[in-house]
């Protein structure tokens, strides 16, 4: 199953781990690969992370590129010229600049004259960007409206073009469409709360040294009861003293739609379990956890029967009692992603807005985004800490991941619009493979009883 779907259409085959690309053979994490095992670009795994899911992301979607207030800041704060802003997304270099009437321009970051980076150019005239080299000036649609050093009579004026991408601004964030096909209405790709006046959405973004697929898979797996078991900050909210199952007995995919899947853990575990080969118990100590576990799965913010959701192209939503922690991983290149976190809460008054902002910038930002996602999840998954091309042995707890790798690609707009017309049949084949791969999964009679959900 080493399909090149997605890779070839992105033009990035031959650029991968341990193959003939930038990483020399044998230099992958973990040292020399054993002889006789495929050293190819896609690793050894039969159902590896990149087999069907494109390394550089699905393309036929709107993606958040940058917060609007970070685009084209004046050089010296309040005065000086405005410049373009450089953004890397889906393997491409993009120059973003302020257009007219609150719009934004996004163009390929290479001047069609001699290749200078347009993002370093000034916005000499409203709604345009001028190349920093010879001053050829482009509008939001990528048309050269004035080749400044060629003069007003230049034949290039109105004819020379740089590739441009459609943009939209929603809730203070610039979204860019990088697909090969016509953009869809943006409402199809952005969470519904973003357009609902009863909700407040706050934004945080940071570059993560990680391939986007790794962090998306993390949100549907069983790491919770190990990585997030105990940290000092859990003293604050008493979580350190609450019961936590020793392990998960499986994950289930629930609430599947055309562009999403709901993920729920199956937990039938004691607080402490005996592992006979080690003649030891894990966790080692539980006496300090007398409080009852939070049953997060029982009541969610949106009323859905699960807490974790994946949405195409690269969103995850953790739905807790009073808010949604929504993360959108935008692939920059193979090893880096721009990680957007959107904090979604209810509220509509100025007071709600003010209070939620303070809460988001303090508690939420430091304890959830930094404390959990950046300090607990990321360090084990960053590109020099986890090798997605290494062989993988998936188990019962990875059922949602298998589903995500095998089935969601066929539901993607890339498959529906670009890959070909036999996607339904391919999806059926993938579904069979999915069942086969998980035949050892034994649902328990009470497996709706969810305690201790994933983050
Ligand atoms: S390289 Fe851009 S105007 Fe010459
Ligand atoms: Fe986590």
From residue 221, alpha-carbon distances to 233, 362, 396 in Å are 22, 28, 10
Ligand 1 center from residue 126 Cα (angstroms): 19
Name the closest-CA residue to atom 4, ligand 1: 134
From residue 271, alpha-carbon distances to 222, 229, 233, 239, 278 in Å are 15, 12, 21, 14, 18
Ligand 1 center from residue 72 Cα (angstroms): 20
Backbone angles phi, psi at 430, to 5 degrees: -65, -35
Cβ atoms < 10 Å from Cβ of 76: 8
In 3D space, the residue among 419, 101, 454, 53 whose CA is nearest the CA of residue 252 turns out to be 454
Q: How big is the CA angle at 314 (ends 296 and 318), to the nearest 5 degrees?
A: 10
Give the tokens for residue 210: 């990680």
The number of helix segments (H) and strand segments (E) in the chain equals 9, 20
Q: Which ligand is nearest to the CA of 118?
A: 1
If 0-12 CB within 10 Å is exposed, 13-18 middle and 19+ buried, where does residue 387 land? middle
How far is it, in rounded angstroms, from Cα 102 to Cα 129?
15
Q: In what order do the strands lie in the sheet with 104-108?
A: 85-89, 92-98, 104-108
Nearest ligand 1 atom to the CA of 147 is 3
Contact criterion met (CB below 8 Å) for 18 and 26: yes
The C-alpha torsion from 443 through 447 and 452 to 453, rounded to 10°, is 70
The set of residues, in sequence order, having a beta carbon less than 8 Å from that of 444 and lying 6+ positions away, is 249, 250, 266, 268
Ligand 1 center from residue 105 Cα (angstroms): 18
Q: Which residues of 289-328 are buried (b: 16+ CB within 10 A; e: fewer)?
A: beeeebebbeebbeebebbbbbbbbbbbbbbbeebbbbbb
Ligand 1 center from residue 391 Cα (angstroms): 47
pLDDT of residue 35: 47
The answer to whether the Cα torsion of 47, 52, 57, 63 is positive or negative is negative
CA 220 to chain centre: 13
Ligand 1 center from residue 89 Cα (angstroms): 23
From 118, 119, 124, 131, give the residue whose CB has the most ligand 1 atoms within 8 Å, as the site to mutate: 131
Cβ atoms < 10 Å from Cβ of 102: 8
Name the closest-CA residue to atom 3, ligand 1: 134
Residue 136 three-state SS = strand
Ligand 2 center from residue 228 Cα (angstroms): 7
How far is it, in rounded angstroms, from Cα 61 to Cα 312?
8
| Residue entry with tokens 């899947």 | 261
| Residue entry with tokens 């979607």 | 61
Nearest ligand 1 atom to the CA of 135 is 3
Contact criterion met (CB below 8 Å) for 317 and 164: no
Ligand 1 center from residue 133 Cα (angstroms): 5
The answer to whether the Cα torsion of 221, 338, 58, 393 is positive or negative is negative
From 133, 146, 147, 161, give the residue whose CB has the most ligand 1 atoms within 8 Å, as the site to mutate: 133
From 84, 107, 111, 154, give the residue whose CB has the most ligand 1 atoms within 8 Å, as the site to mutate: 111
Ligand 2 center from residue 443 Cα (angstroms): 24
| Residue entry with tokens 């207030």 | 69
Q: Which ligand is nearest to the CA of 137?
A: 1
Q: Which helix (H) or strand (E) holds 212?
A: helix 212-218
pLDDT of residue 224: 86
Backbone angles phi, psi at 189, to 5 degrees: -110, -10
- pLDDT per residue as tens, the chain (455 positions): 333 333 333 333 333 333 333 434 433 344 444 444 444 444 444 445 566 888 899 999 999 999 999 998 776 777 778 899 999 999 999 999 999 999 999 999 999 999 999 999 999 999 999 999 999 999 999 999 999 999 999 999 999 999 999 999 999 999 999 999 999 999 999 999 999 999 999 999 999 999 999 999 999 898 988 998 876 667 777 878 888 888 988 888 988 999 999 998 888 888 899 999 999 999 999 898 888 876 655 678 888 888 899 999 999 999 988 899 999 999 999 999 999 999 999 999 999 999 999 999 999 999 899 989 999 999 999 999 998 877 778 888 888 998 898 889 889 999 888 876 566 666 666 666 555 555 544 444 444 343 443 33
CA 326 to chain centre: 10
- Site residues for ligand 1, CB cut-off 6 Å: 111, 113-114, 116, 131, 133-134, 136
pLDDT of residue 425: 66
Nearest ligand 1 atom to the CA of 118 is 2
Nearest ligand 1 atom to the CA of 134 is 3
Q: Which ligand is nearest to the CA of 229?
A: 2
Contact criterion met (CB below 8 Å) for 63 and 330: yes
Q: Which ligand is nearest to the CA of 154?
A: 1
Could you tell me the end-to-end alpha-carbon distance of the chain, in angstroms, rounded to an integer?
Answer: 30
Name the closest-CA residue to atom 1, ligand 1: 114
Residue 333 three-state SS = coil
Give the tokens for residue 365: 């930002």
Ligand 1 center from residue 148 Cα (angstroms): 10
If 0-12 CB within 10 Å is exposed, 13-18 middle and 19+ buried, where does residue 243 land? middle
Could you give the domains of the chain?
62-177 (2.102.10.10), 187-381 (3.90.380.10)
From 95, 136, 145, give the residue whose CB has the most ligand 1 atoms within 8 Å, as the site to mutate: 136
From residue 247, alpha-carbon distances to 274, 280, 379, 451 in Å are 11, 15, 21, 11
Q: Which ligand is nearest to the CA of 372?
A: 2
Output DSSP code: residue 204. E
pLDDT of residue 424: 65
Q: Which ligand is nearest to the CA of 221?
A: 2
């Amino acid at each position: 199953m080493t399909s090149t779907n997605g890779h070839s259409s992105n033009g990035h085959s031959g650029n991968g781990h341990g193959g003939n690309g930038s990483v020399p053979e044998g230099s992958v994490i973990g040292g020399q690969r054993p002889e006789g095992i495929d050293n190819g670009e896609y690793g050894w795994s039969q159902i590896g992370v990149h087999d069907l899911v494109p390394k550089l992301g699905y393309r036929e979607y709107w993606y958040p590129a940058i917060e609007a207030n970070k685009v084209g800041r004046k050089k010296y704060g309040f005065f000086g010229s405005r410049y373009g802003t450089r953004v890397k997304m889906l393997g491409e270099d993009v120059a973003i600049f302020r257009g007219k009437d609150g719009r934004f321009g996004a163009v390929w970051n290479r001047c069609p004259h001699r290749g200078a980076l347009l993002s370093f150019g000034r916005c000499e005239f409203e709604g345009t960007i001028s190349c920093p080299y010879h001053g050829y000036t482009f509008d939001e649609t990528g048309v050269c409206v004035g080749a400044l050093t060629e003069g007003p009579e230049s034949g290039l004026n109105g004819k020379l073009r740089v590739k441009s991408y459609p943009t939209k601004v929603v809730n203070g964030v610039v979204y860019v469409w990088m697909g090969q096909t016509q953009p869809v209405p943006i409402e199809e790709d952005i969470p519904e709360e973003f357009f609902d006046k009863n909700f407040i959405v706050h934004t945080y973004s940071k570059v993560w040294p990680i391939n986007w697929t790794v962090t998306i898979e993390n949100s549907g797996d069983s790491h919770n009861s190990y990585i997030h078991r105990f940290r000092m900050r859990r003293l604050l909210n008493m979580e350190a003293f609450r019961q936590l199952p020793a392990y998960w007995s499986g994950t289930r995919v629930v609430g599947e739609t055309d562009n999403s899947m709901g993920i729920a853990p199956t937990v039938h575990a004691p607080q402490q379990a005996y592992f006979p080969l080690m003649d030891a118990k894990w966790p080692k100590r539980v006496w300090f956890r007398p409080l009852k576990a939070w049953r997060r799965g029982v009541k969610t913010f949106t009323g859905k029967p699960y807490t974790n959701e994946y949405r195409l192209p690269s969103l995850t939503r953790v739905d807790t009692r009073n808010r949604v922690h929504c993360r959108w991983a935008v692939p920059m290149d193979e090893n880096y992603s721009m990680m957007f976190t959107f904090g979604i809460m209810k509220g509509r008054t100025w007071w709600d807005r003010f209070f939620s902002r303070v809460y988001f910038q303090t508690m939420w930002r430091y304890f959830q985004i930094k404390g959990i996602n950046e300090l607990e999840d990321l360090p084990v998954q960053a590109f020099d800490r986890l090798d997605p091309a290494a062989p993988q042995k998936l188990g019962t707890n990875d059922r949602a991941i298998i589903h995500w790798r095998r089935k969601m690609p066929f539901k993607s707009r890339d498959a529906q619009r670009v890959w070909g017309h036999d996607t339904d049949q391919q999806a059926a084949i993938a579904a069979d493979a999915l069942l086969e791969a998980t035949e050892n999964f034994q649902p328990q009679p009470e497996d709706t009883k969810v305690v201790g959900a994933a983050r």
